Amino acid sequence: MGAKDWMLVYAGGEVRPILRAVPTLDRDATRALVARLYPDASIVDLGDGDLGGNANPTGGEVYAGCFPGLTIVCTPDAGLDHPSTLDRRFRAEARGRTLYLHAMHSVVDWFAYAVWAPDGELRRSLSLSPESGILENVGAPLAFEAPYWAGERAVDPADSGYPLPFHPLELAEDALRALFGFTYEGSWLDDDPEPEEIVLAGFAVRSAHG
C-alpha cells in the first residue's frame, strides 16, 4: 500500500510527549475547528479514525483532532507541491503556535514539509520528487536533513539512473521522527507513539451549495 499522508500539526511545544500520552480527543473543539477551516462547507460527521489509518483522506474528507497542546488536521489541502502556498486560513489557525506541514506519497516518491514559527514566519519549506526534482527549497535545512545533503544517505549505486541524490521517502520518515516522534514505515523504537492510538474525528466537507 505504501506510505501516504497530508497533515498539518499545530503545537505549542514538543509533539512527541503529547502523542506518547495518548491524549483524549476534544470532540466539540475539533468540530468547531473544522467548521472554521471550511466556513463555506456543510460539515458531516463520518465517525472516528486514527492517525495511523486516516492521515491521507480523500478529497472532500478531513480527519482532525484537538488535544491539550496539540491540534492535528489531515486534509488533502496540505498535499501541496509548494508548501509555502498553504492557504492563509490554515496558517492563521496557528495563533501563536508552531505549524508543521508534512506530506508524502510513496507511489511517486514525493515528499514535502514546511515549518512556520509561532510568529507566522516560514522557517523551512522543502518539496521534491524524482520526476519533478526540487520543487521548493526555502529556508535553512533542519538538522535531520543534514545527512541527506551531505551524501550520507545516498541512493544505492545500483540505482544509478535515479535523478535525486537520495530518496525523498527516506527523508520523509526521518522528518516524521524528528518533528513528531514516530514513523509510518521507518525504523521503530519501543517507546515511539502509536499513531493508531491517536483518535481523530472524521468529517465530510461538502459544498453548502450542493
Question: What is the structure's pLDDT at 1?
Answer: 44
- E strand or H helix that includes residue 15: helix 15-20
Q: Give me the number of domains the chain comprises.
A: 1
| pLDDT exceeds 80 at position 20 | yes
Q: How confident is the model at residue 208 (pLDDT cuts 50, 70, 90)?
A: low
Q: How confident is the model at residue 21 (pLDDT cuts 50, 70, 90)?
A: very high
Question: What is the structure's pLDDT at 90?
Answer: 98
The runs of H, that is alpha helices, within 26-118 are 27-37, 88-92
Question: What would the pLDDT profile of 78-103 be if each residue is shown by its tens digit?
Answer: 999 999 999 999 999 999 999 999 99
Question: Which percentage of the chain shows pLDDT scores above 90?
Answer: 87
Question: What would the pLDDT profile of 23-82 be if each residue is shown by its tens digit?
Answer: 999 999 999 999 999 999 999 999 999 999 999 999 899 999 999 999 999 999 999 999
Residue position matching grid coordinates 544509478: 160
- Domain span at residue 43 reads 4-207
C-alpha cell at 95: 495563533
Beta bridge partners of 103: 6, 112
Nearest-angstrom CA–CA distance, 113 and 84: 9
Residues contacting 183, CB < 8 A, separation 6+: 173, 176, 177, 192
